[in-house]
Chains A and B, each alone.
Chain A
Amino acid sequence: MNTRKQNHRPGKKSTDRRGFLKGAAAAGAGVALSPYLGKVGLAGASTPPAVGDAVNPFGVAEGSTVDAAIFSGGYQHDYVEFAAEIFEEVHPGTTVNVSPLTLVAQELQPRFVGGNPPDLIDNSGAGSMGINTIFEQLEDLTDVIDAPNLEGVPIRDTLYPGVLSPGTFGDRFVAVNYVFTIYGVWYSGSLFEQHGWTPPTNWDEAIALGAAAQEEGLYLFTWGMEAATYYQTFLIDSAIKEGGDEVRLALANLEEGCWSHPAVQGAFTAMKTVVDEGYMQPGGAGTQFVQAQAQWTLDQTALMYPSGSWIENEMKETTAEGFEMRGVPEWSVTTDSAMSETALRAAAGEPFIVPSGGANVAGAKELLRIMLSEESATYFLREKLAPTIVSGLVPEDGFGSTALVSQTEMLEAANGEYFNHEFVQFYGTNQEQLPIWNSFLSGDKSVEELTSDLQAITDRVREDDSITKVTFE
């Protein structure tokens, strides 16, 4: 492993240098250089490729180079390097350069403008590019899903249901969301056992649990300022479970008055009770979010935390000994909800995209195909303790992770009743919504004010003709 990694280094350096030159060319300073650079990019493609066979379904050219720019956040980027090694074994003579990114939009923007983007991009993290801004420049990836994996099974048949929807906008499938993220409310199994508490299944139970926690001098929830909208996500999901697809589509398609839907209002009102009763750990609006999360995992002054399943990995270093993290599906407002108790917001995340303008589109698709094969997906599962969209690979013991086992159980219990929504991410409104939620969770805003503030953002986006809209289904 290690020696192989080092072998990658010289290649990596040369990409950086080329990337720099390309950037310079894009800035107009090196116009004279660009024909030369163009030739470098084309050198590999001149060999006639064998298209369409099972070994090389996309016709990766011999001796070609794949340039993969991978967001290196909570999941790092070693799992792509792992797939890259397999790539180079399957296609001798080829080179895959995996370069880590932190601020995706800033680092790649000049390359998109210059017309020489990387072949494969993991467009993730706080600095990711809004998909609607580059939508037209992306390759349709349906053929990757229809290709066989390295074991010979069509990739489509190995995936969890519904995982392709987050990458599908209108009629085009442009992003393979590699990691399967489950949204839940997480808690310490050992702490709950010790007090004889059971995790709530609706808001009435949640409020009762908040009262029980208060007697112990504890809080039901905590929040951090950059992550205040985790509660927006939570309450939207809660409302969707309560009211069904009608609620989800009204919100996602930016309908007038969508935030006033009874199910949404029910969730907001319940949350307002939690805030007013003092079940929130105070001070969240001034607390950095990882610090706040540590109040739950380390200090254990707060009982539960709504988040995606990345939370275990994110807090790995700051979780109390014997915490036994487990999760329950985000609960609905009442027991009389449109979706069943086990219904789950499960969404594929970490969008991998392939720009049509990349020098080696076939190579990028091939790398994705390898990542979706058993060996790479298992590597990810074992190293990151989070499932990929490839199903059926989690062992009984979850590689020693209670949260991973808990996720698998939730997925199985949901039995395909998954839902998801992408509109906040798609329209990039999260930043604008954060201050509103910080105020609401601090107790400084009524449900009416919260509703009208959120509606104002929705209305503004809807009325702004310069924003590309899609119809969510």
Chain B
Amino acid sequence: MTATIANPVPGGRKRRAARDGRPGRKLTFDNVSFMVVFLGLPVTVFAVFVLWPFAQAAYFALTNWSGFSPDYDVIGLDNFGDLWSDQLFRRAVRNNVILAVVVPLATIVIALTFATIMTIGGSSHGQLRGIRGSSFYRVVSFFPYVVPAIVIGLIWSKIYDPTSGLLNGTLTKLGLDQFEAFAWLGKQSTARWAVIFVIMWGFVGFYMVLFIAAIKGIPAELYDAARIDGCGRARMTFSVTIPMIRDAVQTAYIYLGIFALDAFVYVQAMTPTGGPENSTLTISQRLFRTAFTEGKFGYASAMGVVLAAVTLLFAGLVFTVSWLTGGRDKRSKA
């Protein structure tokens, strides 16, 4: 800003411009108080409640702290070595990776499909619009997101109940007798997918609304032009919609992925024991148990550090993939 003002102006006006252009340099009460309130305070809060706990966790990961006494020894990287050979923890990491791959992908595909139907899925004559009643569906599909995650978990654990649950009740009424007393959350073959379904159920509505907003932001001329060129709805989706909202999709992917790497509330509500053969055990569940029931806070902190690393790795991976698949063209054009 200052440069563009200062440069083209010659001679005598330059001095004045510099003074006018850089008011921040002067430590008046206004400036200082502004800095304190809008910079100092947030940075302090961030440092105390985010950075400091991070640093603490990283430090405790190097100790054998039990969590219940003020004494501990620094034991270096032993905890990480133990984690590497901890079968249960590796199992949890594997489960989380599966969640982080499946949940975002499936949720986004479904959300995007619905969003497309509700924005450009309507009549192909006249103005571009969604299917009839789309605003109603939009509101209804947002409902699950309004319900707290723990409540969703508990509701579904009742729906999945083998003998008195809604799901098996419906299926057996339809004549599918093999679902009599079928333990959805108790069979290794179904527990993970039952949990994934519930997480998706909770999120699809929100991401659909997010995508609808993004699609509405696309200039209508683009669609009109595409239609004149003879695009069908599918072609319009892949050649207009998705390229135009790829930033929204990328953000959604990262958010959902980070969530899936945690997923604590859902799994704790539906399969508090870690699921059949630990097939739904997550890192966060394992961490919680290690810290509070086994009294190994140092070891649990090491798990936390690994989880943070996995999360960062995931975000990095998504950015890289997005960049490689064409994000870079867009950047350079802009």
Q: Which of B184, B186, B289, B296 contacts A431 (CB 8 A)?
A: B289
Say if the beta carbon of B157 comes within 8 Å of chain A: yes
* Contact yes or no, A287 B186, CB < 8 A: yes
Please, what's the 1-or-0 string for B58-95, where 1 marks a CB less than 8 Å from any CB in chain A?
00000010111110000000000000000010000000
Contact B294 A112 (CB under 8 A): no
Contact partner, A285, options B164, B186, B295, Cβ 8 Å:
B186
User: Is B188's CB under 8 angstroms from A291's CB?
Assistant: no
Across the interface, do A113 and B187 meet the contact criterion of CB distance under 8 Å? no
Given contacts A109-B67, A438-B276, contact A282 B183 (CB under 8 A): yes
Q: Min CB distance, B53 to chain A, in Å?
A: 10
Is A260 among interface residues, defined by CB-CB distance under 8 A?
no
CA A444 to CA B189, docked complex, whole Å: 12
Q: How many A-B residue pairs have CB under 8 A?
A: 119
- B183 near A283 (CB under 8 angstroms)? yes
Q: Is A198 located at the chain interface by the 8 A CB criterion? A: no
Answer whether A291 and B181 are a contact pair too, CB < 8 Å, given A133-B67, A435-B276, A438-B276.
Answer: no
Is chain A's interface secondary structure helix, strand, loop, or mixed overall?
helix
A291/B164 in contact, CB under 8 A: yes
Partner of A288 from the list B64, B157, B289 (CB cut-off 8 Å) is B157
How far apart sit A438 and B164, CA to CA, in the bound complex (Å)? Answer: 19
**Which B residues touch A442, using CB under 8 A?**
183, 186-187, 276
Assess whether A286 is in contact with B293, with CB atoms less than 8 Å apart: no
Q: Which of A113, A301, A431 contacts B273 (CB 8 A)?
A: A431
**B293 CB contacts on chain A under 8 angstroms:** 105, 127-128, 130, 428, 431
The contact of A113 among B69, B162, B180, B182, by CB within 8 Å, is B69
Q: Is A139 an interface residue (CB 8 A)?
A: no
Q: Does B119 contact A (CB under 8 A)?
A: no
Question: By the criterion CB–CB under 8 Å, are A106 and B292 in contact?
Answer: yes
The reply to whether A435 and B182 contact each other, CB–CB distance below 8 Å, is no
Say which size band chain B's interface belongs to.
35 or more
Q: Would you call B69 and A282 a contact (CB within 8 A)?
A: no
B69 near A136 with CB under 8 A, answer: yes
CB contacts under 8 Å to A, within B152-205, are: 157-158, 160-164, 180-188, 191
Whether A129 is near chain B, meaning CB under 8 Å from some CB there, is: yes
Name the B residues within 8 Å of A291 (CB-CB): 161, 164
A109 touches B274 (CB 8 A): no
Residues of B within 8 A of A161 (CB): none
Decide: A130 near B295, CB < 8 A? Known: A112-B69, A431-B289. yes
B278 at the interface (CB under 8 A from A): yes
CB distance from A348 to the nearest CB of B (A): 21
Measured CB to CB, the nearest residue on chain A to B70 is A113
A119 to B67, CA, bound (A): 19
Complex Cα–Cα for A124 and B182 (A): 34
Please, which residues of chain B bring their CB within 8 A of the CB of A166? none
Give chain A residues whose Cβ lies under 8 Å from the Cβ of B277: 435, 439
The answer to whether A283 touches B278 (Cβ under 8 A) is no
Alpha-carbon separation in the docked complex, A29 to B184 (Å):
47
Find residues 258-300 in chain A having any chain B CB closer than 8 Å to their own CB: 281-288, 291, 295
A132 is an interface residue with CB less than 8 A from chain B: yes
> Which of A29, A128, A134 has the most C-beta atoms of chain B within 10 angstroms of its own C-beta?
A134
- Complex contacts, B184 vs chain A, CB 8 Å: 286
Q: How far is the CA of A438 from the CA of B289 in the complex (A)?
A: 19
Report A-chain residues with C-beta under 8 Å of the C-beta of B161: 283, 286-288, 291
Q: A112-B69, A136-B69, A286-B186 are in contact. Are A105 and B274 (CB under 8 A)?
A: no
Q: A residues within 8 A CB of B160?
A: 286
Residue B272 CB within 8 A of the other chain: yes
CB pairs A–B below 8 angstroms (15 shown):
A132-B295, A133-B67, A133-B294, A226-B272, A282-B183, A283-B162, A283-B182, A283-B183, A284-B186, A286-B184, A286-B191, A287-B186, A435-B275, A442-B186, A442-B187
Q: Point out residues on B near A: beta carbons under 8 Å.
A: 48, 64, 66-70, 88, 157-158, 160-164, 180-188, 191, 271-278, 289, 292-296
A residues lining the B interface (CB < 8 Å): 29, 103, 105-106, 109, 112-115, 127-130, 132-134, 136-137, 225-226, 228, 281-288, 291, 295, 301, 428, 431-432, 434-435, 438-439, 442, 444, 466
Q: Which 9 A-B pairs have the closest CB atoms?
A: A285-B186, A283-B162, A133-B295, A286-B183, A286-B186, A283-B181, A286-B185, A282-B181, A434-B273
